[in-house]
Chains A and B, each alone.
Chain A
Amino acid sequence: MYLIQLVLSRHAQNHEQNSWLCVQGNARTETRTANSRTLKHSPVLSALLAFALILFTNAAVAKDPTLVVVDTGYIDVHTGPGRGYPVFHALEKGETIELLKQRTDWVKVKTKRGKKGWVHVRDINKTIGANGEQVTFSTPGFEQFKNRRFELGFSAGTFEGSDSIDAYVGWRWTKNISVEAHATQIVGDFSDSQMFTANIVLTPFPDWRITPFVTLGTGTIDISPDTTLVSTEDRTNDVLQSGIGFYGYVGRRFVARFQYNNNKLITDRNENEEIDEWRLGITAFF
């Protein structure tokens, strides 16, 4: 994970130099100017790098083993992290197993004899730690929603008649206040736009299943008129965003999110533009 952060910070530096090939870290890139080819292949290139790094980090895991003892009649072990994968082994009461890693609600375990398989967290909670610790793995639910730290979501909507797609990450600062970064693509009949905003979100009743929020944000919008019309310049405007909406808890790690935004585009002209935007989306939380 640290390596990924490193990659991201390298990317940030490189972006200032307008060349994404710098991730290769050689002198050649210093002199390379940004052209369409360089930019075009850069996302794939950076993904390849991230891909390789993750491969390394996956291979190198050195931590104290987490040992637990089975405290129930028996525990089924599946070949894969899902209820549909066959049960190929049963752990006996009193058997010590090592917990290796978790994927969704499944934990990969290793027996003393080296057998590896997947056990549901429901069954992991029927074990006790090798030193008598309590084992409490939680499954995602409404309690987790109330205590969430991060959100990752996307939505579709209309932006004054145009289609829009939005993706965001959010970090919950306090129970009532969170901050979000949004990236929005707007596809219109006459122009395409990208909008990036940073928002503060206020949730007055965080313990409700359907809970309202208000948001204030600021950012920029790049508007590119379609080229088939009279050739016009792209323009970039600052945008002030105020919105209101609500979350509806769906289940597990999901909430639905419905939102209305008023976007005020700060223009050079005498009048600022106001644009209404409606969004409906789904959010996963952690």
Chain B
Amino acid sequence: MATRHNCIFLGRAFLGLSLVASTAFSTTAFAQDQDVLEDIITPDLERREIKESDLDTEDFEIGIYAGIINIEDFGSNDVVGIRLAYHVSEDIFLETSFAETTLGETSFERLSGDIQLLSDDQRDVTYYNLSVGYNFLPGEVFLGSKIALNTNFYIIAGIGTTEFADEEQFTYNFGAGINIFPTDWLSIRLDFRDHVFEHDLFGETVTTNNLEANLGFNIYF
């Protein structure tokens, strides 16, 4: 329970930190402050320069996703998550995500009758990660003859932890996906990810590959 709370708190803290950072240098806030001063002090003076701070930037992205994750030995299960990304350039982005799922039964548990390897609480799995992504193959998809939507592929890799059977496991993730943009501030994203971690739940330490596929909506702001 304590680890669960901590893990959630940490995941929340990461998201919170990133959000604070994103708001702290909000260009609109600066621009408004300047406007107020200009109105009071120098009403007749025109702007001498147009800079990036005069425009709203949309380098951050927040999203929600849902899909299926296969935890090795525990079947395929629903997963829901949230993500926050910062686009450093048109190519590279940094991303943090947090998701939760519930483990199914192992085939041993199903065959043996009422033997349970894990308690209900231990079946709740959460993960969070910090990843770097690379956008490539920008392009368009066409809906009929009138509508063209922008798309891009990306590859992504990162580190994080998975809380599995009440224990934190250091986790690598690798993946790829595709973004489709109905408008330029909204993307529909299909993501495939492999979460690799070790655990010793069955006695000896094994490395597990846990595949996830999800569909998400992301907003740029």
Contacts and interface: CB of A to CB of B under 8 A. Distances in A.
Contacts of A129: 47, 49-50
A205 interface: no
23 contacts: A36-B121, A39-B4, A42-B12, A47-B82, A50-B62, A85-B150, A99-B50, A101-B56, A103-B87, A104-B89, A121-B52, A129-B49, A131-B47, A150-B21, A152-B21, A156-B159, A163-B170, A167-B96, A187-B161, A192-B6, A192-B167, A254-B88, A286-B25
Interface string A176-187: 000001010101
Nearest to B29: A1
A4 B23 contact: yes
B188 interface: no
A68 B81 CA distance: 42
4 closest A-B pairs by beta carbon, nearest first, are: A84-B138, A47-B82, A1-B26, A192-B168
B8 A1 contact: no
Interface in A230-273: 234, 252-254
Interface in A33-88: 36, 39-40, 42-44, 46-48, 50-51, 54-55, 57-58, 61, 63, 66, 68, 79-86
A149 interface: yes
Interface stretch (B67-75, B109-117, B129-137): B129-137
B57 interface: yes
A134 B50 contact: yes
Contacts of A202: none
Contact of B150 (A47, A79, A194): A79
A147 B47 CA distance: 23
Interface of A: 1-2, 4-5, 8, 11, 36, 39-40, 42-44, 46-48, 50-51, 54-55, 57-58, 61, 63, 66, 68, 79-86, 99-108, 121, 129, 131, 133-138, 140, 149-150, 152, 154, 156, 163, 165, 167-169, 171, 181, 183, 185, 187, 192, 194, 196, 222, 224, 226-228, 234, 252-254, 282, 284, 286
A55 to B, nearest CB: 6
B185 interface: yes
Interface in B169-191: 169-170, 181, 184-185
Summarize B's interface: helix, strand, loop or mixed: mixed
A137 B170 contact: no
A79 B148 contact: yes
A185 B159 CA distance: 11
A181 B168 CA distance: 23
Contacts of B22: 1, 4
Contacts of B63: 51
Interface string B37-62: 00000000011111110111111001
Contact of B132 (A150, A169, A282): A282
Contacts of B49: 129, 133-136
Nearest to A162: B170
A169 B167 CA distance: 27
Contacts of A149: 25
A79 B21 contact: no
A136 B90 contact: no
B137 to A, nearest CB: 7
A51 B219 contact: yes
Nearest to A129: B50
Contact of B130 (A165, A226, A252): A165
